[in-house]
């Protein structure tokens, strides 16, 4: 199981990355914009994420044509060997993905909405695809069914499914039970994944029991001079 964080907010990411439970961070231009990070500030964010121990840092290209996407992808990969280049599943994007993959650059094909795009991404040599689960549902597509079909189609290949656009943690549990093993979550959902009220109640009971003397125990009696102890 691999869990990733879908955010560029350092304040929100820091405590979650400290847990060591998340393999890295996924970003895109919209996520960077929401975090107030301009395009030229991206390299500094990558450096920070690498310093935080991220195994993978997914950074998306913005060029519209294949040649420009290839050039941008090479520049992004030059920032760190932990960078995975994200490319949208357009014709130009898939063309660029194939060229970058041939050059040994790890690529994630993103904005996947149909299982046929998983086949195209695999043909392009992508190491990852990112289906948008929530948006498929909003478009009246059965996102769960599509993701499971993608997982079946790609089983035994070098391309992995990294589910994005998750709206609630139960979706993670349900898909994980069906052998989908990689998810990227917003920091709010990641925090929900870590919380369980019954566990917190049990820990509170443990702490309370630790603070109380055991039944039948005899309180310690001081034998120090001046505290009522016998003297010779």
List active site positions.
86
Q: 3-class SS at 203?
A: helix
- Full DSSP string of 23-86: -EEE--HHHHHHTT--GGGHHHHHHHHHHTT-SEEEEE---SSHHHHHHHHHHHHHH-TTEEEE
Q: 3-class SS at 19?
A: coil
Do the Cβ atoms of 4 and 183 come closer than 8 Å? yes
Angle between helices 42-51 and 10-18 (to 10 degrees): 20
Q: 3-class SS at 3?
A: strand
Number of C-alpha atoms within 13 angstroms, CB side, residue 32? 19
Interatomic CA distance for residues 2 and 168, integer angstroms: 17
Interatomic CA distance for residues 187 and 22, integer angstroms: 11
Interatomic CA distance for residues 56 and 24, integer angstroms: 5
């Amino acid at each position: 199981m691999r869990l990733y964080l879908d955010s560029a907010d350092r304040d929100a990411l820091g405590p979650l990355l400290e847990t060591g439970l998340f393999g890295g961070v996924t970003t895109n231009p919209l996520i960077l914009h929401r975090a107030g990070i301009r395009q030229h500030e991206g390299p500094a964010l990558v450096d920070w994420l690498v310093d935080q121990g991220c195994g993978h840092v997914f950074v998306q290209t913005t060029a519209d044509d294949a040649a420009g996407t290839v050039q941008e992808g090479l520049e992004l990969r030059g920032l760190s060997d932990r960078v995975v280049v994200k490319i949208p599943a357009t014709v130009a994007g898939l063309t660029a993905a194939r060229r970058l993959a041939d050059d040994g650059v790890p690529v994630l094909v993103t904005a996947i909405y149909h299982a046929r795009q998983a086949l195209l991404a695999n043909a392009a040599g992508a190491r990852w695809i990112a289906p948008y689960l929530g948006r498929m549902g909003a478009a009246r597509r059965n996102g769960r069914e599509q993701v499971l079909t993608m997982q079946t189609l790609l089983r035994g290949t070098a391309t992995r499914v990294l589910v994005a656009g998750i709206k609630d943690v139960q979706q993670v549990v349900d898909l994980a039970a069906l052998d989908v093993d990689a998810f990227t979550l917003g920091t709010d959902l990641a925090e929900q994944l870590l919380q369980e009220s019954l566990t917190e109640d049990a820990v509170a009971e443990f702490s309370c029991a630790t603070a109380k003397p055991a039944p039948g125990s005899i309180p310690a009696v001081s034998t120090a001079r001046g505290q009522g102890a016998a003297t010779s």
